[in-house]
Amino acid sequence: MLYRPFQVFLIVCASIATAPACADRTALTQSPAPAAEASATQAPKTTPFDGERAFEHVRAQVGFGPRPAGSAALEKTREYLIRELKSYGLKVTIDSFTPKTPKGRVGMKNVIAELPGETAATILICSHYDTKEFKDFVFLGANDSGSSTGAVLEIARVMAAAGPRKFTYQFVFFDGEEAFCEEWSECLDGLDNTYGSRHMVERLRAEKKLETIKAMILLDMVGDKDLTIPREDSSSQWLVEAIWSTATELGYRKEFPSRRFMIGDDDHMPFLRAGIPAVDVIDFEYGDGPGDNSYWHTAEDTLDKISARSLKIVGDVILLSLSKIEAQIR
C-alpha cells in the first residue's frame, strides 16, 4: 500500500504532543496501565497462531526478491502460497485475469483458499501479495506485502486445523494491489491500483454472489516491530469495534490504539463500495519512531524491520475477534 502518506500523516499525527488523535499513545507510554489492562497483559488469551512460522513465510517471500505483478518472482511466490494452503487441507482456486494497466495488459492471479462452513455465508480474510515495482532500487517488501501475506497464511493454517465453523471462510491473496505508475492515482483515471480486489468484486457481482460475502477483513503492513494500528475510518465501524475491543481485552491497546485515521484507499474499498462490510487493519507508521513512515516503499522495507511478535499479536487479535464478528452477522 498506499496513498498520499503526507496527507494522511498531517491528519493523524500533525503533532504528537498536542493532537487529540495521538493522545492515547502519549498516555500509554507515560502512565501505568489500568488494573484491568495489566491483568489482561499478564494472562493474555492466545491461539495456536505461530509468529515464528508467519515470520518464516515472510522470509521465504523476501527470498524470491521483488515481486511485482506479472513477474517471475511473483509466480514463485504464488506457487509457494498454493503449496502451503493445500498442505493445510484447503481447497485452492486461482482466479486469472488480464487487466489493462499503464504497461499494457498484465496477467494477474488472485489466490483463494476456502474453508467450508455450515453455511455458504462467507467471511474473507485478505492480503495483497504483490510488491510495488521500483526501477532504481531493490524493493523487498518484507512488510508491504510480505507480513500480511505471511499472517493470512498462518491464520489459514490455524483455522483449517481447528475445522469448520458456522461461516465459510476464504483466505484471499490479491494480485496487483500496487500501482504501476509511481503515484497511487496518477494513471488510468485513478484505477492503476487494487486490480485484484476490484476484479474479485466484479466476479462476485457477475456470479450474483456478492450477497454471500458477509464481511471482509484486510491485513496490510502488519509486521512492523513497533506495531501501531489505529482504527481506520473508512472501514465498517462494527468490524473495527469487534477487532479493537478484542485487542484491548488481550492487552494490546498500545498496538491497537483507539485513535483514528483515514487511509484513503486500499483493497477493502472495492468491497465497501459494493455494500460489503470491510475493515482495513494497517500500520501506516512504518519507520524510525512514532509518526514516521520512512521505511514504506523504500529499500528499507527489509526483514530486520519486522518481528514474529507483531505477526503473532495481529494473528491472535484477528482469530479471537472472529466469534464477535460472526455473532453480529444475521
Which residues would be at the binding site for Zn ion (CB under 5 A)? 1, 132, 144
CB of 171 to Zn ion, least distance (A): 20
HEC secondary structure over 278-316? EEEEECCCCCCCCCCCCCCCCCCCCHHHECHHHHHHHHH
> What is d(CA 305, CA 158) in angstroms, rounded to the nearest whole number?
25
Output b/e per residue, 168-181; b: 16+ Cβ within 10 A: bbbbbbbbbbbbbb
Alpha-carbon distance 13 to 4, whole Å? 14
Q: Measure Cα distances from 208 to 98, 197, 278 in Å.
A: 21, 16, 19
The minimum distance between CB 129 and Zn ion, in angstroms, equals 12
Q: Enumerate the β-bridge partners of residue 231.
A: 260
For the chain, how are helix, strand and coil distributed in percent, rounded to 5?
A: 40, 15, 45
Nearer to Zn ion, 144 or 232 (CB): 144
Q: Judged by CB, which is closer to Zn ion: 41, or 298?
A: 298
CA 221 → CA 41, 141, 145, 242, 251, distances in Å? 24, 9, 6, 20, 21
Residue type, 24: D
Q: Which CB, 25 or 132, lies closer to Zn ion?
A: 132
Q: How far apart are CA 31 and CA 175, in angstroms?
A: 43
- Residue with Cβ nearer Zn ion (52 or 183): 183
CB closer to Zn ion, 49 vs 284 = 284
Beta bridge partners of 125: 171, 217
Nearest approach, Cβ of residue 115 and Zn ion (Å): 27
Query: Which one, 276 or 282, has the nearer CB to Zn ion?
Result: 282
Least separation in angstroms between residue 145's CB and Zn ion is 7
Q: Given the DSSP bridges, would you call strands 91-97 and 122-128 parallel, antiparallel or unpaired? A: unpaired
The answer to whether 7 and 17 have CB atoms below 8 angstroms apart is no
Cα–Cα dist 246/322, whole Å: 9
Considering the complex, state which of residue 44 and residue 65 has its C-beta at the smaller distance from Zn ion: 65
Smallest gap from Cβ 138 to Zn ion, in A, equals 15
Nearer to Zn ion among residue 106 and residue 158 (C-beta): 106
Give the torsion through C-alpha atoms of 173, 176, 179, 185, to 10 deg: -80
Nearer to Zn ion, 1 or 215 (CB): 1
φ, ψ dihedrals at 98, nearest 5°:
-135, 75
Identify the helix (H) or strand (E) that includes residue 208: none
Task: State the Cα–Cα distance between residues 131 and 126, nearest whole angstrom.
Answer: 15
CB of 1 to Zn ion, least distance (A): 4
- State the nearest-atom distance from the C-beta of 279 to Zn ion, in Å: 18
- CB of residue 132 to Zn ion, shortest distance in Å: 5
Closest approach of Cβ 120 to Zn ion, in Å? 33
